[in-house]
């Protein structure tokens, strides 16, 4: 990103049409970032055709940096590679991502290199590109389950995934179903604050659980 360019946020919405809480989260993040002079690349995954990753590693050895499938899944790595902030929006499903989001995230392999590098006690794939982005993951859970085992597993999953993507800053949190617009905006403000994005909504509501 050049000094004069507007930062770009990629919103990967893995929700369904019947998740009103996630829709509120999506709107609050989009509105806050837009007001902060971000360019928002808003991607509703359920409206796209994205094949499941075939595990062929063609994006490493046949067409480096590009998925062998020619559907919208090929765009995932490209959009992520040029974003400054990557946002996951998903209902928490068995402690993980929704099938729509997981299907897209499996296409991130091309942004990594096939060789391995040891850093401290970890051995991981190096990044293909020098550009580094921040990461925010927001999941929705049923009312009263912000500190459930599934919610804790979700935050742990994002933490482990962040170790692969190497974002400059990252945060993960959940919002309980039934939260109203004000609660959602407070949750979004608290999470954005965790990664250094200014927001007028900075008080953390009861329905939010944020990874330290």
pLDDT in the model for residue 173: 96
pLDDT in the model for residue 61: 86
In 17-109, where do the E strands start and end? Answer: 39-44, 85-91
Q: Is the pLDDT of residue 202 over 50?
A: no
pLDDT in the model for residue 8: 95
pLDDT-above-90 percentage for the chain: 62
Mean pLDDT computed over 106-127 = 85
Q: Give CA angle at 96 (86, 139), nearest 5°.
A: 55
pLDDT in the model for residue 164: 86
pLDDT in tens, 34-76: 999 999 999 999 999 999 999 999 888 888 878 888 899 889 9
Tokens of 178: 């039934």
Q: Is the pLDDT of residue 161 over 80?
A: yes
pLDDT in tens, 168-191: 999 999 999 999 999 999 999 999
- Cβ 113 vs Cβ 127: under 8 Å: yes
- List C-alpha distances in Å: 176 to 23, 96, 97, 209: 13, 15, 16, 9
Pairwise pLDDT comparison (28 vs 208), residue with the higher score: 28
Closest CA to 196 of 176, 168, 174, 177: 168
Residue 203, judged by CB atoms within 10 A of its CB (0-12, 13-18, 19+), counts as exposed
- pLDDT category at 208 given cuts 50, 70, 90 is very low
Closest CA to 98 of 135, 41, 50, 167: 50
- pLDDT category at 203 given cuts 50, 70, 90 is very low
Q: Is the pLDDT of residue 207 over 80?
A: no
Give the Cα separation of 108 and 188 in Å (integer).
Answer: 25
| 47-51, 88-92, 203-207: least confidently modelled range | 203-207
Q: Which long-range contacts (CB under 8 A, 24 or more apart) does 62-69 make?
A: 64/110, 65/110, 65/111, 65/128, 66/110, 67/107, 67/110
pLDDT in the model for residue 200: 57
Question: What is 8-210's CATH number, 3.40.309.10, 3.40.50.360, 2.60.40.650, 3.90.245.10?
Answer: 3.40.50.360
- Cβ 54 vs Cβ 68: under 8 Å: yes
Instruction: Classify the C-alpha dihedral 196-202-208-209 as positive or negative.
Output: positive
Which residue in the block uniquely carries the two structure tokens 């998925």?
67
Pairwise pLDDT comparison (21 vs 17), residue with the higher score: 21
Closest CA to 85 of 31, 135, 12, 132: 135
pLDDT in the model for residue 206: 36
Q: Is the pLDDT of residue 142 over 60?
A: yes
- Where in the chain are the domains? 8-210
Which residue in the block uniquely carries the two structure tokens 């990753």?
53
């Amino acid at each position: 990103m050049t000094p004069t360019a507007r930062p770009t946020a990629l919103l990967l919405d893995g929700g369904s049409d019947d998740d009103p809480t996630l829709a509120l989260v999506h709107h609050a993040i989009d509105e806050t970032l837009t007001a902060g002079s971000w360019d928002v690349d808003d991607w509703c995954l359920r409206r796209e055709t994205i094949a499941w990753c075939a595990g062929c590693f063609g994006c490493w050895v046949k067409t480096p940096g590009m998925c062998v499938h020619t559907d919208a899944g090929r765009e995932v790595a490209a959009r992520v590679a040029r974003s400054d902030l990557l946002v996951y929006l998903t209902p928490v499903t068995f402690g993980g991502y929704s099938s729509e989001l997981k299907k897209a995230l499996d296409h991130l392999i091309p942004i990594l290199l096939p060789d391995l590098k040891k850093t401290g006690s970890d051995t991981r794939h190096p990044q293909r590109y020098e550009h580094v982005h921040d990461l925010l993951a927001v999941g929705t859970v049923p009312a009263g389950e912000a500190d459930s085992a599934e919610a804790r597993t979700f935050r742990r999953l994002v933490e482990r995934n962040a170790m692969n993507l190497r974002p400059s800053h990252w945060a993960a949190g959940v919002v309980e179903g039934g939260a109203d617009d004000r609660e959602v905006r407070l949750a979004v403000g608290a999470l954005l604050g965790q990664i250094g994005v200014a927001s007028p909504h900075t008080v953390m509501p009861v329905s939010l659980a944020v990874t330290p």
